[in-house]
Amino acid sequence: MDLATDYMGLALRNPLVASASPLSQTVDGVRRLADAGVGAVVLYSLFEEQLLKEAELNARLVDAGSESFAESLSYFPAATDEDPGPRRYLSLLERAVAAVDIPVIASLNGVTPGGWASYAAAMQTAGAAAIELNIYYLPGDTHVSGRDVEQRHLDILARVKDVVTIPVAVKLSPYFSSTGEMAVRLDEAGADGLVLFNRFLQPDINTETLAVVPAVGLSNPVDARLPRTWIALLHGRVHAALAATTGVEDPADVAKYLLAGADVVMTTSALLRHGPEHATVLLDGLSEWLTRKGFAAVGDVRGMLSVPPGTDESAHERVGYVSALQEANSNVLGPW
């Protein structure tokens, strides 16, 4: 089965991508993902906070004045597996790129359009095939306007695009007043890919300890419905490649995203739950389904069930909503 896929100009052997997670925190982890067959790996994210900390340290060393800046850098400890910072990240990236023959995508996680974003250039030098920008911004300040939040996304993208020549994808949240327009603006601003969607930390409350409990839960297939809806709407309406992330548990979930119009399908929770080797199960299942349905290549199904161009999108969503409600009601009450 021909699973070859283009993602932002990168030639992938198939459309399954291991999304950013602890599984890519070591070279061995990246190798296991590659051996299991994924088309590309996104490394875990390097955070703005880590970069700012390093920049502060550099500034302090320069201020101390006893050494030139370049010499001061020699004070930094060599990257080790215990060092979670930027140096370790670049070292891991370089070693991972050398260890596998699939594209390795670096990930930057931040919220402000500050200088940290220029770190993307170092990632490119270290061999990243592309950069994924995880703009993890939940505007807790009730005075921040929606337009400001949107502009922040565009500014961060512009900073990164200015300093790299490799493709840049934006991993965004679904929480915009008009998610589609935001996607189109990012597309027009030069995003090579849109990764739909990142998941915010939604803390729980423990009623016994009376404490707020931070938690990053694993996803379930039902969580794929929101990104899938947006992918179906955006397919054919943006130039940027579309990456689906959230809720892939079995091969059918991969197939559904492709039918909706995803260029690539990412997975983390299932690989954490079942191990990286689960990627082989997903890929074998995808090939088996394509063969059974009589398709010769993965490209034959991509976007088959997207919202066709020329459709009145709002009316389309409304029709779906109304008929879903009618069906749900008739299941409970009998036909309307």
Ligand X SMILES: Cc1cc2nc3c(=O)[nH]c(=O)nc-3n(C[C@H](O)[C@H](O)[C@H](O)COP(=O)(O)O)c2cc1C
Residues in contact with ligand X by CB under 6 A are 19-22, 44-45, 107, 109, 134, 171, 198-199, 216, 218-219, 245-248, 267-269
Does residue 8 come out as left (phi exceeding 0), alpha (psi in the -120 to 50 range) or beta? left
Q: How far apart are CA 67 and CA 188, in angstroms?
A: 45
Per DSSP, which regions of 215-293 are E strands?
241-245, 264-267
CB of 195 to ligand X, least distance (A): 7
Contacts of 279 (CB under 8 A, 6+ apart): 16, 18, 33, 36, 37, 38, 267, 271
Nearer to ligand X, 43 or 61 (CB): 43
Nearer to ligand X, 152 or 199 (CB): 199
Residue type at position 27: V
Would you say how long the chain is, in residues? Answer: 336
Alpha carbon of 210 to those of 203, 204, 214: distances in Å?
13, 11, 13
Nearer to ligand X, 14 or 45 (CB): 45
CB of 14 to ligand X, least distance (A): 16
CB of 41 to ligand X, least distance (A): 11
CB of 261 to ligand X, least distance (A): 18
Alpha carbon of 305 to those of 33, 234, 257, 261: distances in Å?
29, 12, 9, 7
Nearer to ligand X, 3 or 20 (CB): 20
Q: 199: which 2 tokens?
A: 């998941």
CB of 199 to ligand X, least distance (A): 5
CB of 238 to ligand X, least distance (A): 19
- Reported as half-sphere exposure (CB side, CA atoms, 13 A), residue 59 has a value of 6
Nearest by Cα to 245 from 224, 272, 259, 218: 224
Contact 50, 86 (CB under 8 A): yes
Nearer to ligand X, 72 or 109 (CB): 109
CB of 207 to ligand X, least distance (A): 24
Strand 193-196 with 204-206, pairing:
unpaired
Contact 120, 108 (CB under 8 A): yes
Strand 193-196 with 241-245, pairing:
parallel
CB of 159 to ligand X, least distance (A): 18
